[in-house]
Amino acid sequence: MSNVRRQFGFFDPKQEYSVTYGVLPHWEQPGATYFITYRTRDSIPQAVFDLWQRQRADALRRLGIDPNASDWTAAFGRLDWGVRRQFARQFATILEASLDELHGACPLRDPNVSNVVAENLLRFDGPRYSLGGFVVMPNHVHVLVCFDRNVTLKDQCRNWKHYQSLRINELLGHKGRLWQPESFDHLVRDGDHFQKFRKYIQNNSVKAGLKESEFRLYLPDLQDAHFVTD
């Protein structure tokens, strides 16, 4: 992949962006770089997730938002973007920390399975997006990526998970849903933020105490990468 010309843009709150809502808000801006986490469906125990939902509801109430109201996302969307971003980062971080405890069946621990994910991510590095790095952990995947302007976050994540689920289920002789439908994502603000996520990817397996065979790490050489700062 040494011939891939990589370009990375950063989130600019002064430019147009969109926000959609699921368990967490998702910001999207053409040409920006994302740190994306997607996970297997059993990677966070239900008790942990239930506690997280209660904590999130309490935090929304402190912001003056009723989490049980049908229009709570509209009220949340009227908050200052910095408040919304900090809220999303805080509650995504709580769930991401739980992932490193490696709950669930952890099918990606198998090198043959993690290779399916790695090969799929690398396949369109260049034609559709620029990879800043990724790590395939036993029950989740972290990807640092900048999509081409005609590629959306939602569509590409759906494509990754659909293809990988089909291949992995076939490989393991399983049926049914492999991935949790919703991913966690952070828009990257600047070069320092970018390097922070690169380091997170690099150190994730060490933090979890994994053997070399239990994860797949990819950190491309970015010496010739172009970083768009305005």
DSSP labels, 64-133:
T--TTSTTHHHHHHTS-HHHHHHHHHHHHHHHHHHHTT--S--GGGSHHHHHHHHHHHHHTBTTTEEEEE
- Please check the confidence at residue 1 and state whether its pLDDT lies above 60: no
- Cα pseudo-dihedral 63, 21, 184, 78, rounded to 10: -40
pLDDT value, residue 230: 66
Q: Exposure of 79 by Cβ count < 10 A (0-12 exposed, 13-18 middle, 19+ buried)? A: middle
- At 229 the pLDDT is 75
Q: Which amino acid belongs to residue 50?
A: D
Give Cα separations from 177 to 41, 43, 165, 180, 196 (angstroms).
7, 13, 7, 8, 32
Per-residue pLDDT tens digits for 94-114: 888 888 899 999 999 999 999
Is residue 214 predicted with pLDDT exceeding 90?
Answer: yes
* pTM for the predicted model, two decimal places: 0.90
Task: Say which CATH superfamily domain 7-228 falls into.
Answer: Transposase IS200-like (3.30.70.1290)
Give the residue extent of every domain in the chain. Answer: 7-228
The pLDDT value recorded for residue 132 is 97
Q: Give tens-digit pLDDT for 32-84.
A: 999 999 999 999 999 998 998 999 999 999 999 999 998 888 898 888 878 98
Least confident among 71-80, 100-109, 173-182, 189-198: 71-80
Percent of residues, the chain, with pLDDT higher than 70? 98
pLDDT, residue 2, reads 52
C-alpha span between 9 and 190 (Å, rounded): 8
Q: Average pLDDT of the chain? A: 92
